[in-house]
Structure 1
Amino acid sequence: MKNMKNNLNEHIDKQMVKIEVSLDDMNPEFYGYIMEQLFSMGVNDVYIVQVIMKKNRPGQVLHILCREEIREKVMDFLFLETTTLGIRYTPYTVHRLERTFIEVETEWGKCTVKIGKREGKIVQIAPEYEDCVRLAKEHQVPIKWVYDLVKEKGYQWAKEQ
């Protein structure tokens, strides 16, 4: 197992904003494109929640977490690319764990694991999804097998620390 890099110390980020857009009249086939474009703009997270809106209409709320410095750019994009007539945004504070990336070796190949630490103590171990998908496809094994094995290798690494 190899320690790849430590790219982020634990910290509190007070320069974040959460943007919400309610949508009830947009083609849902567009959501993948919208999310892809938002991530390419540098947003930190995007997710969609199903809701029942006024007049009992089914709809979705698009949630976006980004840095304050790109809020206007994100809003311009949302007004242009979605059917919304209004955008809500709120200042957000985000506590981020220290992150270390390690590389573990499995019977199917190497995979990256993200290690999350709080006050120097390991509290999260997460295999990188894209690596797990690649190995599952290459070796024609269920992704859950790859994910479980990689996570176990991550636990072994953590025990040695």
Structure 2
Amino acid sequence: MMDKLMEVARDCFYTPIFMKKNRPAYKLSVLCDKEKIEEVEDIIFSNTTSIGLRKIEVERSILDREMITIDHDGLKLFFKKVYHKDSSYIYPEYQSVKDLAEKENISIKEAFDRIRSIYGEKYEN
């Protein structure tokens, strides 16, 4: 069901909780645009035993960003470069980190550090 939700939502996640009488349960949280609410509700009601939903409108602050792609050793590595005031930050996309880790047989942390250095070699030197 998470895959179906992620096709229409911005994000979704489970949180373990305790209900009345200390019954264990999972809370499903979904962040989506207003236009997608009905579609999200349909997915939840069709794929869970839930008989009701609570909806809360939230505001979102986002940083200006640009997507950057670097071809490296047969892989396309994707980054977000975000801007806040007078600073910018680079965030490798998780899938790129995972792909590099698998290709080079290294840990996710090592791959994350390697991708940041690949970006530095390309754009900061």
TM-score by length of 1: 0.66
Q: In structure 2, give the amino acid aligned to 1:52.
A: F
Q: Please say if residues 104 and 150 of structure 1, whose CA atoms lie closer than 8 Å, have aligned partners that are also in contact.
A: no
Identify the residue that residue 21 of structure 2 maps to in structure 1: 55
Report SS of the residue matched to 2:50: coil
Cα deviation 1:32-76 (Å, max 9, x = unaligned): xx1100111x21010111111111011111000001011112112
Select 2:39's aligned residue among 62, 68, 73: 73
Long gaps (5+) in structure 1:
1-33
Q: Please say if residues 106 and 150 of structure 1, whose CA atoms lie closer than 8 Å, have aligned partners that are also in contact.
A: no
Q: Distance between the aligned counterparts of 1:86 and 1:72, measured in 2?
A: 13
Point out 4+ residue stretches in structure 1 off by more than 6 angstroms.
none
| Cα pair distance change 1:158/1:92, threshold 3 Å | farther
* Superposition deviation, residue 111 in structure 1: 1.8
* Superposition deviation, residue 78 in structure 1: 1.0
Select 2:5's aligned residue among 38, 47, 70: 38
* Superposition deviation, residue 120 in structure 1: 5.8
Select 2:110's aligned residue among 145, 148, 152: 145
Structure number having the greater strand percentage:
1
Higher relative contact order structure (alpha carbons within 8 Å, sequence separation ≥ 6)? 1
Q: Alignment length, in residue pairs?
A: 125
Q: In structure 1, give the amino acid aligned to 2:77.
A: C
Q: Distance between the aligned counterparts of 1:112 and 1:69, measured in 2?
A: 28
| Cα pair distance change 1:61/1:157, threshold 3 Å | farther
| Cα pair distance change 1:74/1:110, threshold 3 Å | closer
RMSD over aligned Cα atoms = 2.4
Kindly, what percent of the aligned residue pairs are identical?
28
Q: Distance between the aligned counterparts of 1:142 and 1:74, measured in 2?
A: 35
Q: How does 1:1-161 map to 2 (within 5 A)?
A: 34-40=1-7, 42-104=8-70, 110-119=76-85, 121-122=87-88, 124-154=89-119
Long gaps (5+) in structure 2:
none
